[in-house]
Every structure is written in C-alpha cells, then in structure tokens.
Amino acid sequence: MKLNTETEQKIISSAEKLFLQRGKAGTSMQEIADDAGINRTLLNYYFRSKDKLFEAVYRKALSSFIPDLASLLRSDISFSDYLSAMIETVIDGMIDNPQVPIFILQELSSNPERVPQIIREMGIDPLKLIGKLKAVKTTDTDVGEDTAPGTGEDTATDTGEVPGMDTGEVPGMVKVTDPRQVIMNILSLCIFPFAARSIVTEILYNGDTDAYLEAMKQRKVLLPALVKQFMT
Amino acid sequence: MKLNTETEQKIISSAEKLFLQRGKAGTSMQEIADDAGINRTLLNYYFRSKDKLFEAVYRKALSSFIPDLASLLRSDISFSDYLSAMIETVIDGMIDNPQVPIFILQELSSNPERVPQIIREMGIDPLKLIGKLKAVKTTDTDVGEDTAPGTGEDTATDTGEVPGMDTGEVPGMVKVTDPRQVIMNILSLCIFPFAARSIVTEILYNGDTDAYLEAMKQRKVLLPALVKQFMT
DNA sequence: GTCTATATTGTGATAGAC
DNA sequence: GTCTATCACAATATAGAC
C-alpha cells in the first residue's frame, strides 16, 4: 500500500494545473509528465490510466469546493451570521483557486449522468432538502398542488409569485419567496463572477486584475447584505 | 465563393452539437463526420482545418449569445422596461440553447488572451462603458481617487460601501451602488442557473427537468423585480 | 521506482481518382 | 463535390531491463 511519495505529489500538482486549465481531452499524459519533470511511464505506474488520474483531480477539486456549498444547502437556512460566514468561505476558496468553478461546472455539464451520484457523495439528500426548503421563510408563498409524478416530491411550479403582494413601487412587482429561487440567487451571485472572471475583468475593470480581485473581496460583505435585503 | 450547401449545414450542425457538448479537444473530426453522415475528408474540403471549423462554431455561439448582453452593457442603464426586456431575451435564448453559456464561459476561461479582441468585436468599448457606469445611479457612491495606472481609467477600488447609510436593519449593512457590482449581479442571476443547469435541476428540482424549466421562465419576471429592488 | 523500447490505435491533413 | 488511399505524427498503455 503506497502512500504519498514526493513524485506522486508532483504528478497530482501538475495534473491539477493542466487539467483545470485545458480540460481532460486537451491535456496529454506527456505534458503532465514534462510539467512534473518525470518520465511519462511513471504516470501509469502511480495511476493506472489517464482516466484514473483525471478522476483523482476531479474528486479533489470537487471536495475542495462543494462541501461549503453543501453545508449551505443542508443548513436550515437560519441565516444571519451563518450566511455571511458561508459566503466568505466560498468566495475565499474561489479567490485561491480561480479555475475550479468553471472546471466543475463544465465537468458537471458534460457528464450530467454522473450528477446524481456526486450529489449523493456530497451528502445532500434532495428529498430532505426540498422538505426543509418548504418549511423556511414561506410566509406568503404558495407551495400547493403536489402534481409531481413518481417521487411524490413537490416538483411542480411553485410560482413564488404573490399577486396580492405588490410593494406598490413597480406594477407587476413580485416578492421572491420561493426558497429554491433564493438558493439559486445566492449561488449565482457567489459563483458566477468567478466563472466569468476573464470577461468580467476585461469589461468591467478594463483588464485590471487587482481591481477585479478587490471587487470580489467586497462581495464578501456586499452579498450577505443583498441577500438579507431580498429575503425580507 | 461557395454558399450554404446542404452538406455544409449538416457539418455545422453536427460540429455545433459535439463541440458544445464535449469541447474542441474532446471531439474528433471523425465523430463530426459520422454524426453528419459524410466522409471525414469532406470536413477538410468545406473547412480547411479543425481549427477553422471550431472557430466557425465558436463565433456562431458567441454571436447568438453575447449581443443581447452587450446591448445591456452598452445601454445607459436607464432601466425600467429595458431591463425586463433584456433579461427576458437573454433567458429565452439560454432556454433554447442550454449548452451555450457554459461553452462560452469555458472557452473564455481557457483563452483569456483572446478576450480583449472578442470584446472589441462585440462592439463594447470598456473605456466608454466605465465612463457611463460612473454617471449612473451613483447618488451616494464614492467613485473618487483615480489611482489607476496607464489608461487613466478608474480601475481602483470603489468600495461601494456607504458607512453612514445603514438601513438600520442589520449592523454593517451596506448599500450596493457600485454600478459594476450591479452589472455583475444582473449577469450572475441571469446566466448562472443555466451554466449550472444539471446540478441545479438535480438538487433543487429533484431531477425534474420540467420543473427546472418552469423556474427559469419564472425568473424572467422575478429577476427584473429583484434587480429594481436592490437598485433603489 | 524508474527508465527504454515498443505495441497499438487514433488523429488531422493531403493527394489524387472519379 | 465526393470518395479511397495514404502520410506523418501523437496518443495511451504495457513489457521488460536495471
């Protein structure tokens, strides 16, 4: 039973760098070996195949990124301080590893058939989650009509729209109380600016990487306030 | 000067499908030819090389997706109806072509050096844009201290934080008035749920694609309301 | 554990017949 | 325009010497 040798670490490190940057198909074993400064056949000695090596990298990226999000999803969404701490953790993680979000999104998108299994491994039970979501902050949301087939879950269209609840400011204004929409909004606001890093930096910050980074740090305080605002 | 033959259309269509799904390196010319039901060498007859073929697909995806966003960015952000219409257009586009957002994000991320050129082709002038952004809706935002190097643009850290402006609801609450943060928020809320389609569908909608789609349609009315809420 | 050598297959691209 | 044949090369993986 082999444990972490120095060589194995170099391999993982190089594989990580290249796979995240150019994807699985876009990276050859030779390139990884060259980057790690070793012979190509050693890759097959430590990891049986390219598939296995990629899988190791993928799992590592997932486990560095998802647990924080998972705990956010698992929580009873008794927000306040918890929300701020979670957002800060997630954003800090992406600041350290900017390539991870887009890598994971791309991988999940290319292999949707693997998503259910990955969710299970993450320790999220969708049924429980949706149950919890229903019980949270839905003072005026209609979650009625369970017309979903099969699972008996509420998969139907909770509109989240409350026609009688206009704030009076804008005609047709709706109050966002569907917890799933709220979760989507939080994830969107946290992750997207990192997934779109290059174009955001170029368009909004004129290519100034430092200014972009500063803006991302700001979001650690901006986002919790924003979320609380549209949750209430 | 050759025009659209039937074969050429089949090629583009197959190349689109496969490139968007598996990426450039993950797709072979043979697979494209098979999918199009033609001989492999015909690909090289119609498009000189794999690079050229991919470029055609990439450009087409870009031009189907970006113009709407570009006009949003170009606009003087005199919101109201304009915002709603834009969001609806963008979301409808992604409903029709679900693979496009993640494909473009991945491509921009892998080739950041191409981003400036692409922005230019899109017709967005970053300098003008930032100038406009400064002039918009910043009743209480400090955009001072132009410490940016080179361009003379404001690339520094506008905090967007207004210490004296607490709403009184939450300690440390900040008002989001930095226009760039607002733009980021809008793009995030629009695009991310599509870029993360597979996992969002699985986690929040228990794998029910129809429920997911319905939620996306809802966002066409949800998001404008939300944005107006945190703009004011 | 690490290397050389090699087997096998796949890839993008072109020449040339029809 | 479309095909067959072929080239030059890159890819993963494995066998076997040290």
Residues B41 and B77 in one domain: no
- The number of domains in chain A is 2
Give the pLDDT of residue B135.
62
Give the pLDDT of residue A68.
79
Half-sphere exposure for B12 (CA within 13 Å, toward CB): 14
Of A147-151, A173-177, B37-41, B178-182, the one with minimum mean pLDDT is A147-151
Residues B186 and B215 in one domain: yes
Give the pLDDT of residue A79.
60
Say which residue the tokens 């899988």 belong to: A55
Of A31-40, B127-136, B190-199, the one with minimum mean pLDDT is B127-136
Chain C bases near protein CB atoms (7 A cut-off):
1-5, 10-16
Residues of chain A scoring pLDDT < 50: 1-3, 138-174
Give the pLDDT of residue B40.
97
* Partner-chain contact A26 B24, CB within 8 Å: yes
Give the pLDDT of residue B172.
42
> What is each CA distance from B169 to A136, A225, A228, A229, B177, in whole angstroms?
20, 10, 9, 9, 18
Residue B3 has pLDDT above 60, yes or no: no
pLDDT tens track for B44-103: 999 999 999 999 999 999 999 888 777 766 765 566 678 888 899 999 999 999 999 999
What mean pLDDT is predicted for residues B124-134? 71
Give the pLDDT of residue B128.
73
Residue A157 lies in a domain: no
DSSP assignment string, A8-43: HHHHHHHHHHHHHHH-STT--HHHHHHHHTS-HHHH
Query: Measured between alpha carbons, how far is A161 from A55 in angstroms, rounded to an integer?
Result: 42
Domain that holds residue A34: 1-47
Residue B155 has pLDDT above 60, yes or no: no
Residues B123 and B34 in one domain: no
Query: Measured between alpha carbons, how far is B120 from B222 in angstroms, rounded to an integer?
Result: 32
Give the pLDDT of residue B4.
66
Give the pLDDT of residue B159.
43
**Cα of B105 to nearest chain A Cα, Å:** 6
Residue B145 lies in a domain: no
How many Å from the CA of B44 to C1' of D7?
16
Q: What is the CATH number of the domain that holds B203?
A: 1.10.357
Q: What is the CATH number of the domain that holds B32?
A: 1.10.10.60
* Partner-chain contact A215 B184, CB within 8 Å: yes
Residues A71 and A178 in one domain: yes
What mean pLDDT is predicted for residues B108-129? 88
A185 to chain B: nearest residue by CA?
Answer: B189
Give the pLDDT of residue A78.
61
**This prediction's pTM:** 0.85
Query: Would you state the structure tokens that stand for residue B222, as one six-digit string?
Result: 């949800």
Residue B10 lies in a domain: yes
- H or E element at residue B92: helix B81-96
Residues B69 and B39 in one domain: no
Residue B155 lies in a domain: no
Residues A205 and A125 in one domain: yes
Residue B160 has pLDDT above 50, yes or no: no
